Amino acid sequence: MTDFFGTTQGIMSLGALIGAGGFALGTASQAFTGWVQGRSKAKPGHSDRRNFAMVTLLALDDYVGACYGAVHDTPEFDQDHEVEFAFHSPEPVLALPKDADWRLLGDDLGEAVMWFSNRVANFENALDSLDLSKHAYDGFFERRLEGYSRLAATAMDLIARIEIEFDLKLPDKPDYYHQDQGFLAILRDVEKFKSREAGKQTSTQTGASNVTPLFPKTS
């Protein structure tokens, strides 16, 4: 047998055997790789989608809570430099999952969350664009109150939709913590303030601020 593989015909036969073995091994390897990739790309099950919905739900609820704190936070003004002020609470941050496949929530609901994220970013950019050195701080406080209240209301609507879609329910909040009523009261006050200011003539007093009724300054 050894003499056979020493001949030209034997060498050719051995090469063919090695080639066939390599081809079979390569085919098997490709098949295994394809199976693994197929498993990794398998359609997420209901449990995966539900877990993702829960993470999204909690992120939205955190944002609502931050907005509630923001709209009830009275700023402190610098008595020497009225254009300077400071809030006690940090600005709300929408911390949704990064690089998420929002189709896991379904097309309509996933798109709604993505649009909401864009609305939040646009609002933040709009606030940053205001010129606080202008009269009445360029309407910063009114716009901030209204903007965060409306965004929070939208987030609460998304929360309700996710809860229904995935049979989820957020933990109960303290019975004295009525976020929805708080935002509604803020929006009503803002609308009354707008109506009142629209009916008034522009103040002739230099440096008068129409933000005082919203945030009275204390000495």
> Which pLDDT tens digit goes with each residue over 100-135?
999 999 999 999 999 999 999 999 999 999 999 898
Percent of the chain with pLDDT over 70: 71
- pLDDT higher than 50, residue 178: yes
Mean pLDDT of the chain: 81
Whether pTM > 0.85 for this model: the answer is: no
- pLDDT higher than 80, residue 67: yes
| Residue 100 contacts residue 214 (beta carbons within 8 Å) | no
Cβ contacts of residue 200 below 8 Å, gap of 6+? none
Q: What values do phi and psi take at 59, rounded to 5?
A: -65, -45
Long-range contacts of 11-17 (CB under 8 A, 24+ apart): none
pLDDT of residue 213: 53
Mean pLDDT of 57-71: 97
- pLDDT higher than 90, residue 13: no
User: Which range has the top average pLDDT, 17-31, 42-56, 80-94, 153-167?
Assistant: 153-167
> Which pLDDT tens digit goes with each residue over 71-91?
999 999 888 777 788 999 999
Residue 14 banded pLDDT, cuts 50, 70, 90: very low
Cβ contacts of residue 50 below 8 Å, gap of 6+? 166, 167, 168
- In the numeric block, the tokens 């394809």 are attached to 34
Pick 214 or 116 by higher pLDDT.
116
- pLDDT higher than 70, residue 139: yes
